[in-house]
């Protein structure tokens, strides 16, 4: 049934295709196009504008010109006096007449910047003018911005002081990578030494380098391409006492064993003094007491302690060397 039904099914009527549109001879040939200009018709090829690419500002500083010295205060152990040491070094360079910039990459605390802001408030409170650095703040707070800021600061300043937080981070590694001098404050404690090297408690021998020492060793060689000299790594002993205890002597012996393996040198730091704790929240140092005598008298022993620390750092500053020379100190 199906086959017979298909045979007698009515087929649809086919419609004729539309006839093609008649061609208008009056529109042929079309109007000729104007010939394209040929380079041969000119005496010289046409000058096309070159793409303008603005050179970043940090790439414009001369290679053989002024190059600021970057000092990084870094230790992955917190509470060792990084910010205090960085602040005193910064103000000492400013007092010597050097052009200094300060940068705090400890984004959680910003201790160095808070001390410098408090210094500005003390100036207004006591009506004095105190030497201070230019503060550099990071807007994006990443390592690319840090590199650009440092390259710009090297053009205008002789020294750049960087305070790094007590933890590992990409921006801290970038600061260490670009440093000319690394200052690592430590306390007289084996807990602080664990980041530099692990000492056998029975034999007193060095087992292996600590995490921070391996980090500096890892970043030291790649950074040679941007440093005119070898990296100077300094370990500063802070909060030591006049009479060393048995434990402090053991710590000193351990540091002397770690130093040649890790590649740092030891210098004396700042002792535990009440004066430092009282003046630091106000953004002041012992040398500011001459301009603000109502806060107290200058302590010769504490002043000599700071001068000894700066002499041991051996920073490339003739003005600072003259200011801290023993013959220049009254």
Query: Is the pLDDT at 42 greater than 70, yes or no?
Result: no
Domain membership of residue 124 (yes or no) is yes
- Which has more pLDDT, 321 or 240? 321
In a domain, 46, yes or no: no
**Quick count: other Cβ atoms within 10 Å of Cβ 152?**
18
Count of structural domains, the chain: 1
pLDDT in tens, 90-130: 999 998 899 999 999 987 888 899 999 999 999 999 999 99
- What does 26-57 look like in DSSP terms, one character per residue? GG-SPPPPPPPPPGGGSSS---PPPPP-PPPG
pLDDT in tens, 45-72: 444 334 334 434 433 433 334 478 999 9
pLDDT-derived band at 36 (thresholds 50, 70, 90) equals very low
The pLDDT of residue 50 is 41
Which region among 56-70, 168-182, 288-302 has the lowest average model confidence (pLDDT)? Answer: 56-70
The pLDDT of residue 277 is 78
Look at residue 325 in the predicted model and tell me its pLDDT: 74
% residues pLDDT > 90 (the chain): 25
Task: Give the residue among 107, 139, 104, 134 at the shortest CA–CA distance from 120.
Answer: 134
pLDDT value for 289: 85
Does 41 score more than 50 pLDDT? no
Instruction: Give me the domain span that covers residue 280.
Output: 66-320
Does residue 324 surpass a pLDDT of 90?
Answer: no
pLDDT at 298 over 50: yes
For residue 11, what pLDDT is reported? 60
pLDDT tens column, 6-22: 655 666 656 555 555 55
- Please report whether residue 164 resides in a domain: yes
Whole-number Å distance between alpha carbons of 71 and 183: 7
Specify the pLDDT at position 320: 83
For position 57, what pLDDT does the model report? 41
**CATH number, domain at 109?**
3.40.50.300
Instruction: Give pLDDT, residue 5.
Output: 61
DSSP conformation class of 25: G
Residue 38 lies in a domain: no
Mean pLDDT on 120-142: 90
Per DSSP, the residues of 181-217 read EEEEEE-SSHHHHTTTEEE-TTT--EEEE-HHHHHHH
pLDDT > 90? residue 235:
yes
Query: Please, what is the average pLDDT of the chain?
Result: 78
Does residue 152 carry a pLDDT above 70? Answer: yes
- Predicted pLDDT of residue 251: 83
**Closest by alpha carbon to 302, among 327, 325, 273, 262?**
273
Distances (CA, A) of 269 to 54, 117, 183, 237, 306: 46, 24, 10, 5, 8
Q: What is the pLDDT of residue 39?
A: 41
42 is written with which tokens? 């000119």
Q: Percentage of the chain with pLDDT > 70?
A: 73
Report if residue 241 sits inside a domain. yes
Whether the predicted pLDDT of 1 surpasses 60: no
Q: Is residue 142 part of a domain?
A: yes
In a domain, 155, yes or no: yes
Task: Answer yes or no: is pLDDT of 23 > 90.
Answer: no
What mean pLDDT do residues 248-271 have? 87
> What's the gap between Cα 191 and its chain centre?
26
Q: Is residue 113 part of a domain?
A: yes
Residue 44's pLDDT band, with cuts at 50, 70 and 90, is very low
Per-residue model confidence as pLDDT tens digits over 202-218: 888 888 888 899 999 88
């Amino acid at each position: 049934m199906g086959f017979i039904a298909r045979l007698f099914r009515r087929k649809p009527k086919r419609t004729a295709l539309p006839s093609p549109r008649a061609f208008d001879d009056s529109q042929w040939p079309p109007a000729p196009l104007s010939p394209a200009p040929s380079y041969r018709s000119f005496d010289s090829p046409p000058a096309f504008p070159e793409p303008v690419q603005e050179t970043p500002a940090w790439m414009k500083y001369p290679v053989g010109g002024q190059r600021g010295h970057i000092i990084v205060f870094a230790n992955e152990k917190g509470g060792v006096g990084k910010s205090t040491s960085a602040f005193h070094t910064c103000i000492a360079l400013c007092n010597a007449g050097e052009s200094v910039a300060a940068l705090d990459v400890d984004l959680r605390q910003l201790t160095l910047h808070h001390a410098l802001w408090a210094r500005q408030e003390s100036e207004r409170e006591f009506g004095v003018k105190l030497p201070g650095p230019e503060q550099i703040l990071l807007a994006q707070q990443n390592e690319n911005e840090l590199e650009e800021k440092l390259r710009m600061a090297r053009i205008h300043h002789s020294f750049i002081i960087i305070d790094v937080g007590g933890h590992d981070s990409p921006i801290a590694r970038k600061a260490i990578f670009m440093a000319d001098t690394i200052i690592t404050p430590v306390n007289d404690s084996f807990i602080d030494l664990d980041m530099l090297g692990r000492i056998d408690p029975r034999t007193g021998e060095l087992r292996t380098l600590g995490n921070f020492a391996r980090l500096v060793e890892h970043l030291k060689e790649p950074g040679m391409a941007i440093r005119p000299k070898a990296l100077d790594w300094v370990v500063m002993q802070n909060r030591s006492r006049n009479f060393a205890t048995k434990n402090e002597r053991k710590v000193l012996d351990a540091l002397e064993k770690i130093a040649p393996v890790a590649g740092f040198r030891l210098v004396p730091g700042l002792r535990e003094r009440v004066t430092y704790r009282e003046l630091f929240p106000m953004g002041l140092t012992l040398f500011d007491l001459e301009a603000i005598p109502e806060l107290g008298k200058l302590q010769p022993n504490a002043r000599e302690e700071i001068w000894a620390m700066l002499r041991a750092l051996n920073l490339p500053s003739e003005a600072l060397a003259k200011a801290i020379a023993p013959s220049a100190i009254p």
